[in-house]
Amino acid sequence: MYFIKNFLVVSLAAGLAVSASVPTVLKRSPAAEVENGKYIVDRQAEFDNYASWTFQGNSLPEGLYASNYPISDGTRVFVPENAIVRNGYLDLLVNGGQTAMPYTCGEVVTVANNIRYASVRTVAILTEPAGVCNGMFFYESDAQETDIEWLSDANSLSNGGTRRLWLTNQDANQDGSSTSNTVSPPADATTAEHEYRLDWTEGRVRWFVDGVQVWETTEDVPSVPGPWVFNNWSNGDPGWSVGPPAVDAIFRIRSIEMYYNTA
């Protein structure tokens, strides 16, 4: 990637007198193949439905809605005003400089609330300011969840000094432990768009970054239907999100593609 990108820059500089901008070399998952009305992903998963969201204008596209509810522990509240469509992005905002709980946060959820198995690809710029958790995940309950999360504070006790992308299945089998792994994010994850993908199929979850599989597991895989959620939040917990952020902290989503089945 690094080599290719720089080769391209050199080529453009040498070959073109005027270049308005240097195109970024994108690495994205291939689209599903369509066969007999089914969407086939990687020749191993089959889905009936496809949804694609981009963010033009100033309102949320059909199929997504903004959350408006407080978390029961009183630490934070999701407000529609913090799910902002502007400049071609969905900006999920945690306001900077908050001093009193509940901290205001932003979240959108799929109108489809009966998703069971999906390949979801989110192109986004993760949050730079410390003190939030960016989430892209399936959620039915605290025991039926598979997720991708970004903790923007390196000093979160979970991060332990190095910011990482968290990949987790919550404790579906109720043995007292979730199933989790971390990977290094792209080096420019907080300034450039990258694709974060989760493929949830029966008995297996696979995670991808920029079209490359980074992990998979067959442990604690959820099995019930529910919605997909995209959020940005802080509750001040030093063990996880830390925060709240000193300045406005924005999770910027460029697009979402979802191949999915319902149940």
Query: Where on the chain is the footprint of Ca ion (CB under 5 A)?
Result: 171, 173, 175, 177, 220
Minimum CB–partner distance for residue 221 and Ca ion (Å): 10
Taking the CA atoms of residue 169, residue 170, residue 173 and residue 175 in that order, the dihedral angle to the nearest 10 degrees is: 120
Name the residue nearer to Ca ion (CB basis): 178 or 262.
Answer: 178
Nearer to Ca ion, 180 or 262 (CB): 180
Nearer to Ca ion (CB atom), residue 44 or residue 173? 173
Is 144 or 182 the residue whose CB approaches Ca ion more closely?
144
Residue pair 93/78 in contact by the 8 Å Cβ criterion: no
Closest approach of Ca ion to the CB of residue 57, in Å? 43
Q: How far is the CB of 158 from Ca ion (least distance, A)?
A: 18
Nearer to Ca ion, 175 or 188 (CB): 175
Q: Is 58 left (phi over 0), alpha (psi -120 to 50) or beta?
A: alpha
Residue 232: closest CA among 100, 90, 74, 87: 90
What does the radius of gyration of the chain's CA atoms come to, in whole angstroms? 19
Q: How far is the CB of 141 from Ca ion (least distance, A)?
A: 14
Instruction: State which residue, 149 or 220, has the beta carbon closest to Ca ion.
Output: 220
- Least distance (Å) from Ca ion to the CB of residue 224? 15
Q: How many CA atoms lie within 13 A of 228 on its CB side?
A: 29
Nearer to Ca ion (CB atom), residue 46 or residue 171: 171
Closest contact distance (angstroms) between CB of 100 and Ca ion is: 36
Cβ 38 to Ca ion shortest distance, Å: 32
